[in-house]
Amino acid sequence: SIAKGTIYKYFSDKDDLLHALFSQSFDGLIAETERISVKEGDTRDLILEFSNTLSDFSESNRDLIFQLHKANYKESHCDKETEIMTTFMLSFEKILKNGIKKDELREMDTQQLACFSLGCFTMLSLQICI
């Protein structure tokens, strides 16, 4: 058991603690999505693997994600969230571009599709939490 005051020795407030948990939790997910984005294989399989990775993470981190959506973040913490979402989008976009190169997908605006897909995933993760 840790005294409440001990936590504030390391974190200035609840937002800082939540941000630290957020950053640590997402580091592994970022590494996994980047690994998938450079993996060889059928584009549809890679898209499914990418989606399943995000979905599994959402389900296993339901409480954290719910708290993140509920929290009023400090502006400095939003930068990390933006960086993470940008990384996901770029990784997914890389999968789509490789699929186009391999002629497994038709030509499209990969940035728009990646952004749209991550928006859908975000909405899905909110539904999982509620």
Q: For the chain, give the percent of residues with pLDDT over 90.
A: 18
Of 46 and 20, the one with more pLDDT: 46
| pTM of the predicted model as reported, rounded to 2 decimal places | 0.73
Of 30-34, 74-78, 85-89, least confident by mean pLDDT is: 74-78
Helix (H) / strand (E) element for 75: namely: helix 75-101
Q: What is the pLDDT of residue 73?
A: 57
102 and 40 in contact (C-beta within 8 Å)?
Answer: no
| Helix (DSSP H) and strand (DSSP E) numbers for the chain | 6, 0
Is residue 86 over pLDDT 50? yes
Q: What is the mean pLDDT of the chain?
A: 80
Residue that has been written with the tokens 């993996």 in this structure: 39
Is residue 106 over pLDDT 70? yes
Q: What is the pLDDT of residue 129?
A: 47
Instruction: Report the pLDDT averaged over residues 29-40.
Output: 93
Give the separation between CA 118 and CA 50, rounded to whole angstroms: 11
